[in-house]
Structure 1
Amino acid sequence: MQCKFQEDGMVSKGLRMRISVSIFLFSVLILWSGWGKAASVVPLDPQRLFSYGSGPVEVFIFTDYFCPPCRSIESHMEEALESLHRLGVKITFVDMPFYPLTPLYASYFLYGAKAAEEFTDVLRVRRALFDIAQLKTVDSDAELVRRLKEKQIRISLLDLGPVFDQWSGIIKRFSVKSTPTCVVTRPGQEMQVLNGSVDIPQGIDRLIQDLSQISQTPKEVP
């Protein structure tokens, strides 16, 4: 299952038109640019807030907190991403603004990520936001902050503009138009694109198995 940009009833009213991918990507840029001006300015390398690890294998995760298929695999993905992180994979989260409240929730993911001390803390922030989004009643900063505080999630404000600009660039780079989507890049291999709540867990599990075997292979001594 996927949440697709083209599907009526699955996306916000302003995004329901069946238009080209290029116009969709432009719409994403406009959405992120508008929200990026709301927070206090705190200079910071944007990628430090949504990328973890150093590669050379990279995994890009595109999700929306209000996307049912995304939510259905989050528990599995949380455990899998911890394994990938331990294996040295660079993990990049990109929030897709398909639903009207997604920019609000994405903002607080970044605030939570800035306050996080460990990668596991970042995963806790994501889990909390998915849980809160499922309620479908939390639609303001004040209420979202209250709910996050109940879940013991710390936040730290920052300038969101540079982050949203980078997200827009990544979405455009991979032409992503549905969630959940996962892109895997490995040196010397073709890029792998996984879509939906079935293919992604299976593909990520295969990647973990493959990388685990490589890490256990004895290296030849010159």
Structure 2
Amino acid sequence: MPSFGKGAITVRMYTDYFCVPCQSAEQRIEYLVADLVKRNIIRITFIDTPVHKQTLLYANYFLYILNRKNDFDHILFARTALFDAARRKIEEKAGLEEFLRKKGIMFKFLDTKSTLAAMNAYIKSDAVRSTPACIIDNGKQKQLFSGADQIIKALELLR
């Protein structure tokens, strides 16, 4: 399962690229996550949560992008692009590939079944029912936060 950061606090971020609240909150959440990762406060795992039927295509491409370049800043850029593609209602493989290439985002195919299965296991074990959602686990307590406002407040408290 791809994770970023060396912090003692584990964060799992659950989003769906086609979820309007996820789209509107992504920039604010990304800023906080980037700051917390770079200051070695958290270790984050992004878990694509298939609420909409097109999300599986995007989840696969997120993993393909990660397979090509496993770099935190690049992944944040790629996530922003994937959210932008979803806002533009790009729902076909060819259209998504063209969109990513125009953004300079390359990808390398791989078998994603085991990673997607692990993501689904986390979705179930963390009892995620909607997006956006976030688990923050400090080693003593694991908490679920739902909705952009709750997530942002929780991340701000970690700063």
Q: Classify the TM-score, shorter chain.
A: over 0.9
- 2:143 aligned to which of 192, 205, 208: 192
| Unpaired stretches in structure 2, ≥5 consecutive residues | none
Task: Please give the alpha-carbon distance, in whole angstroms, between the structure 2 residues aligned to 1:132 and 1:198.
Answer: 24
Tell me, yes or no, if the aligned pair for 2:9 and 2:139 is still in contact at 8 Å: yes
* Residue equivalent to 2:131: 179
Task: Please give the alpha-carbon distance, in whole angstroms, between the structure 2 residues aligned to 1:107 and 1:113.
Answer: 10
- Deviation at 1:77? 1.3
Task: Please give the alpha-carbon distance, in whole angstroms, between the structure 1 residues aligned to 2:56 and 2:6.
Answer: 27
* Residue equivalent to 1:218: none
- 2:84 aligned to which of 127, 131, 135: 131
The answer to whether 1:97 aligns with 2:50 is: yes
Normalising to structure 1: TM-score of the pair?
0.69
- Deviation at 1:173? 1.1
The answer to whether 1:59 aligns with 2:21 is: no
Task: Please give the alpha-carbon distance, in whole angstroms, between the structure 2 residues aligned to 1:53 and 1:194.
Answer: 20
* Residue equivalent to 1:71: 23
Q: Which amino acid aligns with 1:150?
A: K
Aligned Cα RMSD in Å?
1.1
Greater mean deviation of Cα atoms: 109-118 or 73-82: 109-118
- 1:119 aligned to which of 44, 62, 72: 72
Structure 1 segment 20-31 matched on structure 2, within 5 A: none
- Deviation at 1:86? 1.4
- 2:115 aligned to which of 153, 157, 163: 163
| Unpaired stretches in structure 1, ≥5 consecutive residues | 1-46, 209-222
- Deviation at 1:117? 4.2
* Residue equivalent to 2:104: 152
> Could you say what secondary structure the match of 2:12 adopts?
strand
Which structure would you say has the larger Rg?
1
> Could you say what secondary structure the match of 2:134 adopts?
strand
Counting matched residue pairs gives 158
Normalising to structure 2: TM-score of the pair?
0.94
Q: Which runs of 4+ in 1 moved over 2 A?
A: 53-56
